[in-house]
Amino acid sequence: MAFQSFRVRALASLLCATTFAAAPGVANAWGDKPLRMIVPAPAGGTMDVVARILSDELSHEIGQPVIVENKPGAGGVVAVQTMRSAAPDGNTVMVTASNLLTETPIVIKVNFDPIKDIRPLAVVARTGLVPVGWPGVPAKDMKSLVTYVKANPGTVSFASYSTGTVSHFAGMMLNRKAGLDMQHVPFPGSPPALAQVMGGQIPIMFDGIPTSKPLLASGKLRAYGVTSKSRSSFLPDVPTLAELGYPELAFDNWVGVVVSASVPEDISEKIRAATVRATATAKVKERLTTQGFEPGGDATQAQMARMVKDDYERNAAIVKEFGTKFD
């Protein structure tokens, strides 16, 4: 009887295992371990929120648990080191904002090459910037804003959420292309910068759409354009800066999945494909949209690498052109 019971249990286990393996989309093509998802930011931040939205659906795609590990510190260096020191078997990925690859290495010393040491795989969420202003500024659109700044030489400033970010670079480029002389005032993040803009102390800043969207909806801020290549679905009536005559001010932020360049390309491709499938689900799209993000696309590894390289080189050229110094 005991032997028969054992045979029954063994057969049941085998049937369960066979059913699980045959189920579409659940076989982890790069191993049978939980997937480590490193995030270079503390819990609750933008990158962490996107990572946790992705992790739930990605776990279904690969048939393995996805464990989010927050590794903030040193401008992302701690997280990158954690990822690069892991075995190159595809069981460790990182979810990061694009600035870790295209801005941070330009403004601080890091121990990795963002082009050679990291392989970008997929965009999960993206957003453009929006130049926003205090409603009390006598400028209803970008054209009248430029006129206002020129009529008040040396007295108008623009805020950014940090020196050496696209929020900073976009303001510098607007100065250059529109012939303005706005002074840069950096802040440690969007909230304190937006507080100054809403209070009228600083007339304008380039901010991410997710943080500015509720303030625009409540009338506490005014939008002058968007830096994305096409109009934002969240601000459909706001023109792109390219439409307004400033095609050079095309700045996008994104959060996506990257791996160490030591991970074999065939394994990287399987991770990319699973991420794209997860991001394309209605559940993930809805959750990203609720957070103010546009869902990512299905760019290839080659297209991702080119996008990172182009943005890095553009930002480096801006820093060089303006002779920007960083502490």
The full set of domains in the chain, from first to last, is 28-127+252-322 (3.40.190.150), 128-223 (3.40.190.10)
164 Cβ neighbours under 8 A, 6+ residues apart: 103, 104, 106, 107, 108, 319, 324, 326
Helix axes 190-198, 209-217, angle to 10 degrees: 30
Any idea which of 29-43, 142-156, 194-208, 225-239 has the lowest mean pLDDT?
Answer: 29-43
The half-sphere exposure of 321 on its side-chain side, counting CA atoms within 13 A, is 12
Q: CA-CA-CA-CA torsion for 314, 319, 321, 326, nearest 10 degrees?
A: 180
DSSP bridge pairs for 38: 69, 94
Q: What pLDDT does 326 receive? A: 58
Q: What pLDDT does 38 receive? A: 98
Is the confidence at residue 7, as pLDDT, over 60? no
Tell me whether strands 118-133 and 204-208 are parallel, antiparallel or unpaired.
antiparallel
Q: What pLDDT does 323 receive? A: 72
Share of the chain above pLDDT 70, in %: 89
The helix (H) or strand (E) run that includes residue 46 is helix 46-62
Q: What pLDDT does 325 receive? A: 60
Cβ-in-10-Å burial (0-12, 13-18, 19+) of 118 comes to buried
Question: What is the C-alpha to C-alpha distance for residues 232 and 284, in angstroms, rounded to an integer?
Answer: 18
Question: What is the C-alpha to C-alpha distance for residues 237 and 55, in angstroms, rounded to an integer?
Answer: 33
Token reading at 225: 């354009």
Contacts 24+ apart (CB under 8 A), 100-105: 100/40, 100/75, 100/76, 101/258, 101/308, 101/311, 101/312, 102/308, 102/311, 102/312, 102/315, 103/164, 103/165, 103/166, 103/169, 103/315, 104/75, 104/76, 104/164, 105/312
Question: In this structure, are residues 25 and 277 in contact, taking their beta carbons and an 8 Å threshold?
Answer: yes
Is the confidence at residue 26, as pLDDT, over 70? no
Interval 314-322 mean pLDDT: 87
Mean confidence (pLDDT) of the chain: 87
DSSP state of 224: -
Give residue 46's pLDDT band: very low, low, confident or very high (50, 70, 90). confident
Is the confidence at residue 119, as pLDDT, over 60? yes
Is the confidence at residue 28, as pLDDT, over 70? no
Token reading at 87: 């075995």
Share of the chain above pLDDT 90, in %: 68
Q: For 70-112, write each residue's pLDDT tens digit.
A: 999 887 889 999 999 999 999 999 999 998 999 889 888 899 9
The helix (H) or strand (E) run that includes residue 306 is helix 301-322
Give residue 30's pLDDT band: very low, low, confident or very high (50, 70, 90). low
Is the confidence at residue 19, as pLDDT, over 80? no
Any idea which of 198-202, 247-251, 322-326 has the lowest mean pLDDT?
Answer: 322-326
Is the confidence at residue 21, as pLDDT, over 70? no
Is the confidence at residue 218, as pLDDT, over 90? yes
What is the 3 state secondary structure string of 226-287?
ECCCCCCCCCCCCCECCCCCCCCCCCEEEEEEEEECCCCHHHHHHHHHHHHHHHCCHHHHHH
Q: What pLDDT does 20 receive? A: 35
**How far is the CA of 30 from the CAs of 27, 64, 183, 259, 269, in angstroms?**
9, 11, 51, 13, 10
pTM to 2 decimal places = 0.80
Question: What is the C-alpha to C-alpha distance for residues 57 and 247, in angstroms, rounded to an integer?
Answer: 36
3-state secondary structure of 124: strand
Q: What pLDDT does 31 receive? A: 65
Q: What pLDDT does 272 receive? A: 95
